[in-house]
Amino acid sequence: MTTTATTPDEVTADGITVKTDGPGKWTVERGRDMLGVIWDEGPEMSRGRYATWAPHAGTRNGNAGFFHDAGDAVAAIVQTWPVTAAEVAEQAGAPVADVLAAAEALTAEWEPAGRRAVLRIASATGEHAKMIREAAAAVRERLAAPASPREVHRETYRGAELVITHHPAGRRGPVTYREHHRATVDGRWITCPTGDVPAIAAKLRKVVDKEGTDAELLPKLLPLVDGRETGHGLTPIDGMPALGDVLYVWGHGRYRRGVVTKVARKRVTVSYATNASRENRAVWHKADTVEYLRR
């Protein structure tokens, strides 16, 4: 828009008409639509001589701002005119349905503060639904795809491939993604601890170590599989057991027979298998105090 105009009606812009509507007052129109009104409050106004109002401004009273320059006043009013969901979808590269869902979520957040997002117009629904430009900008931001993840660590440990990827924070539709890391062992997702990459890599190595130990233990545990609903026929143990002792420990709702694999100051770890372990190869580890162990 021109910035050399001395009054709003001298401003020229494609498709925009500024008409005098009384002394010191102008209306800004596009075709049959009235976009807003400008008042000249005098050059002595330090906030700007041109006061603007628009029905779709993002303020409670429709104030679109105060300006010293007539062209800026017209531009401010033009910028308040609503855009359609189809326009936002094209700009964001997202489906109209995602745009509408994000706009409704935004409306729920803004309405308590008296701010409008989507205009409730019976004849403007679906892709023709209209939203104010502030809301359209917020919707486009929400629909912006998160930045692509990048691999930050890869190593081979005991024959297993360990990979860590960094995922930046972002938002897609109503879903917000926090910055995080994702870790895999041979392509399997592993619950990832918070912390830096070395700490995550250390955890992955422990996962591989445990799986290796479990694989070695399983052939010894399968012949011992036994699950008893009660401790009838079992006896408490005296003193601390030794590594390799065969004991019963309460696990998965039964007394399970297994092998002592760790002895600490107060707790003893018993590793055991179940009937399902013959297919899923799972090994379980239960740490308990001596008083709850049985022979």
**Which tokens is 143 given?**
């629909």
Question: Dihedrals φ, ψ of 285, to 5°?
Answer: -130, 125
Last residue within a domain, chosen from 104, 119, 143 = 143
Collect the ranges in the chain with pLDDT lower than 70: 1-5, 58, 120-123, 145-147, 170-177, 193
219 in any annotated domain: no
CA distance 229 to 248: 12
Last residue within a domain, chosen from 79, 96, 128 = 79
293: closest CA among 234, 214, 229, 232? 234
Report the number of distinct structural domains present in the chain: 4
CA distance 250 to 262: 16
199 in any annotated domain: yes
**Which tokens is 195 given?**
């912390």
Are 240 and 286 found together in one domain? yes
**Per-residue model confidence (pLDDT) at position 193:** 65
pTM for this one? 0.49
Question: Dihedrals φ, ψ of 214, to 5°?
Answer: -60, -40
Are 12 and 54 found together in one domain? yes
CATH number of the domain that residue 182 is part of? 3.30.1880
**Per-residue model confidence (pLDDT) at position 195:** 74
185 in any annotated domain: yes
279: closest CA among 200, 225, 213? 225
**Per-residue model confidence (pLDDT) at position 5:** 61
165 in any annotated domain: yes
218 in any annotated domain: no
Residue that the structure tokens 């000249």 belong to: 40
Residues comprising the chain, all counted: 295
**Per-residue model confidence (pLDDT) at position 74:** 87
Are 30 and 89 found together in one domain? no
**What one-letter code names the amino acid at 279?**
E
70 in any annotated domain: yes
Are 31 and 18 found together in one domain? yes
2 in any annotated domain: no
CA distance 115 to 128: 21
Are 132 and 164 found together in one domain? no
217 in any annotated domain: no
Q: Which domain holds residue 104?
A: 83-143
Tell me the per-residue pLDDT of 167-185, one tens digit each, with 9 for 90 and over. Answer: 887 665 556 667 788 999 9
User: Cβ(162)–Cβ(147) under 8 Å?
Assistant: no
**Per-residue model confidence (pLDDT) at position 2:** 46
Last residue within a domain, chosen from 91, 126, 143 = 143
129: closest CA among 116, 141, 142? 116
